[in-house]
Amino acid sequence: MAKHDTQLSDLFHALADPTRRQMLTRLAEGPAPVSELAGPTGLRLPTVMRHLSVLEDAGLIATAKDGRVRTCAIVPEALTPMQAWIEEQRSIWEARLDRLDAYVMNLMKEREK
């Protein structure tokens, strides 16, 4: 449970940055060398490497070095735990009488005025 929790935190944290999401979107088209991922970001190489390291630590990408070139590729199954968590929450949330919640919250907001 604790391990699963850390994994979820790492995944959500990795996706909380638009540059990292942009890198993943590029990698969805196929593996790419670091230089190609760095290009559109306009960021310096050390910053790019830090973003890639966050993605790799979360298990979202794998990297391998061939000579002086490091190539990155997505790990498609990495999204599974996050997707499962969101879907589980969503089904619980929607099963609730959320209209009643909204109604109660509105009533309370009205009283607050």
Q: Which stretch binds its own copies (CB under 8 A): 4-12, 39-47, 48-56?
A: 4-12
The conformation of residue 4, written as its DSSP 8-state character, comes to H
Minimum distance, C-beta of residue 46 to its own copies, in the bound complex (Å) = 22
In Å, how far are 3, 22, 86 from 70, measured between CA atoms?
29, 18, 33
Using rule CB under 8 A, residue 53 touches its own copies = no
Beta bridge partners of 66: 69
Q: Which of 15, 43 has the CB closer to its own copies?
A: 15
Is residue 66 involved in binding its own copies (CB under 8 A)? yes
Residue 8 binds to its own copies (criterion: CB under 8 A): yes
As beta bridge partners, residue 65 has 70
